[in-house]
Structure formats: C-alpha cells, structure tokens
Structure 1
C-alpha cells in the first residue's frame, strides 16, 4: 500500500504508550519505524535507560513485528563543557542507547547537532568542533556495537540550525563515518531549500525525515506548509539516494483522533512521489 522505503516514526504517536503506538502504526500498514528516544519529546524509551529498560523496550518493539530503521536519541548537549562525572554519565547513557539500537535490529542511532540553543557555549567554531568530536567518538562506539551513527545535522532549534552551520558540522565530520539525516521541516523552518540541502550533502545523506513547515514552524502536517516534497524527493533520486524515509509527524494542527487519518494521507501522498 505504501512505499517499502517509507516508515513512520513512533514520535508521530508520542501521546500513546509505546505498545499502543506500535499497534497504531502497524494497523496503518507500515512495516518500518524510527523509534523515538527523546526525553521531553517522546517518552517511548525511558530516560533512565538501564539493562531492564532496554530489555522491556526491545521486547515491545520486537513483538510488534515492525522493522526499526533507526533509534532517534539524545545524550545531552554535545557542545556542553562536561566534568569527569558528567562525561562518564554520558558514556553510560550512550552505551545503553547503542545496546537498545542493536537489540531492536536498527541500522543506526541518531544524535542531534548540539544544544537546544542557537548561541554557542564558547565560540561557534569551538562548539562545532566539540560537537563533531563527540559525534566521532559516538560513531566509534557505535561501530563496536555493530550499528551506525547518524546525526540530524540541521535542527531548527539547536546549535546547527541552518544550512550554513550544518555544512560546517558536516565538513568537521569528514572521515568519521557519521551519516547525515535530512529533515524537510527543519530545513524549511530555517529558511532553507530542501533541494539545495540535497545538492550540498547528497553523498552523506543516510536517512530522511518527513514533516511540513513554514518559516519558524516545524509542526505542520504534510500539505499544510511550504515544503516542496516533490522537488526535494526528485533531487534525492537524481543524485542517487537509495535510503529510506520516515514520517516524523510531531504535528500540532490535528487532534489526536485525527492523527491516524492524517498519517495515512501523508503516507499515500509521499508514496505517490517515490
């Protein structure tokens, strides 16, 4: 019914407990998900992530019959200055997220591009260098766990909030194996052009998030904003992208009762373009 390359993030149904969200997504005939593990955004994965929590979440996901493309996680502000204790806590949380990523059979763990703040902690150059170093180390640990490390390198609310900063971060990550996650909504909200983003990062894009947006607003259902999905998807195809896509519909223009129908409509529209 939908493209085999199109999945649905559990963040789309973050208002439901994980088992219910998985049933909803499966009931809409998706076969693949991204698993949301973002404290304060999606609580499908407990923030206090110990071995028991990993086992519990993995069991729920594996029993659902849905494939997992990626785990969308967070280990704190990657441009923050940490003391020894804080660094040990971050490493422990990262290892648990990587353990979960492997346990659900996901291809990669996704981490963000810095703190939820446009202003750097020190200087922009230093902060981007720090974020890149943290991601490179996480990529090394991910490889040891048998998974990949991807970064949503342009996130409208975070340090690297526009195409210029995303490009600087991506250049700093050259040779680290960290993939780039493209998100239509964050690009459009920042005043960017999805086609330009594809042309800039084509050989680094490993996954694509789909949601609509207008300038400054990322929380719109597909069709209610200004994102040119047809042009962006054509650019991805033209430049050889062979990866997958995920509807990450953390939208605020529909009620929860309307959300399944809106998700189905979005999936049908995007599938028609793929």
Structure 2
C-alpha cells in the first residue's frame, strides 16, 4: 500500500496504549514502525525498563507482525554532569534500551542530541564534547548487542537545536559509527533550510523523520507547514540515500479521531515522492 521504505512512528499514536497503536498502524497498511520510548512524550515503553518489561514490549511488537526500524529512546541529558550513581543509572537504562532494540529486531537505538535546553551547562565546546562522548560510548555498547546508535540532530527542543550545533556535533561523531537522524520539522522550526542541512550532512544520514512545521512550531501535519518534502526527498535521492523514512506525526492540528486518516493521507503523499 505504501512504499516499503516508509514506516510510522508509534509516537504518532501516543494517545493509545501500545497494543492499540500497533493495531492502528497495521490496519492503516504500515509494515514498519519506529517504536517510541520517550518518557513524557510517548509511554509505549515504560521508563522503568527491567528485563520483564522488555519481554512484554517485545512480545507485543512481535505479535503485531510489524517490523521495527528503530527504538526512539532517551537515557538522560548527555551534556549533564552526573555523579557515580547517576552514571550507573544511565548505564542500566542504556543496557535495557539496547536489549529492547535487539529483541524487537530493530536496527538502531535513537538517542537525543543533548538536554532539553539550548543553554550550555558549562560551555558550548565542552557540552558538545560531552554529548559526542556519550553517543560514541552508547554506540560502542550497542555493538555488543548487534545494533547501532543514531542521534536525532538537529532537534529544535534540544541542545543541538540549529544547523551550526548539528554540524559541530556531526564533526565530532565522524568515523564513530553513530548515525544521524534528519527530521524535517525540527529543521524548519529552527528557521533553517532542509536543503542546506542536507548539503552539510551528505553521506551522514541514517534515517529520516517526517512531520511538518513552521518556525517555532514542530507539531503540524504534513502539508500544513513550510517543509518542502518534494525538494528534500529529491536531494536525498540525488545524494544516494537508500535508508528509510518514518512518519512521526506528533501533531497538534488534528483531533485523535482524525489522526488515522491524517496518517494515511501523509503516507500516500510521501509514497508518491519516494
């Protein structure tokens, strides 16, 4: 029904419990998903993620028959200074998320590009170094689980919120194996140009999130904002991008009842562009 490279994030249906969201995406015709595991954004994966909880979530996903491309998770602010207890808690949560990623057959765990704050905790350079070091460490641990780590950068709400910081982070990650997730909505919300983002990140992009935006607002349905998806997808194709795309429709301009139809409409539109 839709292009095989196009999936849907469970964040799109975060108002439903996980089994219901999985059923909704299956009924719409999706075969692949990103699994939301972001406390406060999408509670499809419990934050207290012990091994029994991992087993429950993995079983629910397996029963749906859907493929999982990535798990979109969070292990805390990578530019925060933690004490020994905080570091240990982060390591435990990272291990649980990597176990979930492997057990659901996903290719990668997606982690944020820093705190939900644009201001450095120490200095711009020190905080960028800390975020990069945390991501590289997570990527090294992921290798032991047979999966990868990607980071969504730039992210309008996070530390690496604009094109300059996203590029500085990407430079620090070069050669590390940590992939970059491009999100059209965050680029547009930051007042940046997706084509310029693509020029600066050529060959670095592992996955693409799709949602519309206007400057300052990331929560619009595809077609209701300023993102030029046709030009962006043409540029990705010209660069030789062969990865996948995911509709991450955590939008505020439709009701929950309208959300399935809006997702289907967006999927048809993007399928034609791919």
Q: Is TM > 0.5 for Structure 1 vs Structure 2?
A: yes
**Partners of 1:176 and 1:60 in 2: CA distance:** 33
Task: State the TM-score, normalized to the length of structure 1.
Answer: 1.00
The answer to whether 1:20 aligns with 2:3 is no
**Which residue in the other structure is 1:271 paired with?**
271
Q: Which stretches of structure 1, 4 residues or longer, exceed 6 Å deviation after superposition?
A: none
The answer to whether 1:5 aligns with 2:5 is yes
**Partners of 2:271 and 2:194 in 1: CA distance:** 18
Listed one character per residue, the Cα deviations across residues 48-83 of structure 1 (whole Å, up to 9, x for unaligned) are 000000000000001100000000000000000000
**Which residue in the other structure is 1:32 paired with?**
32
**Which residue in the other structure is 2:162 paired with?**
162
**Which residue in the other structure is 2:242 paired with?**
242
State the secondary structure of the residue aligned to 1:260: helix
**Partners of 1:256 and 1:194 in 2: CA distance:** 29
**Partners of 2:135 and 2:249 in 1: CA distance:** 26
**Which residue in the other structure is 1:229 paired with?**
229
The answer to whether 1:188 aligns with 2:180 is no
**Partners of 2:50 and 2:204 in 1: CA distance:** 32
**Which residue in the other structure is 1:134 paired with?**
134
**Partners of 2:240 and 2:162 in 1: CA distance:** 24
Instruction: Using the TM superposition, give the Cα deviation of residue 153 of structure 1 relative to its aligned residue in structure 2, in angstroms.
Output: 1.5
Count of matched residue pairs? 274
Listed one character per residue, the Cα deviations across residues 185-208 of structure 1 (whole Å, up to 9, x for unaligned) are 000000111111111112110000
**Partners of 1:231 and 1:154 in 2: CA distance:** 19
| Runs (5+) with no aligned partner, structure 1 | none
**RMSD value over aligned CA atoms?**
0.4
Instruction: Using the TM superposition, give the Cα deviation of residue 138 of structure 1 relative to its aligned residue in structure 2, in angstroms.
Output: 0.2
**Partners of 1:183 and 1:163 in 2: CA distance:** 12
**Partners of 2:273 and 2:234 in 1: CA distance:** 8
**Partners of 1:76 and 1:99 in 2: CA distance:** 17
| Runs (5+) with no aligned partner, structure 2 | none
**Partners of 1:241 and 1:199 in 2: CA distance:** 13
State the secondary structure of the residue aligned to 1:195: helix
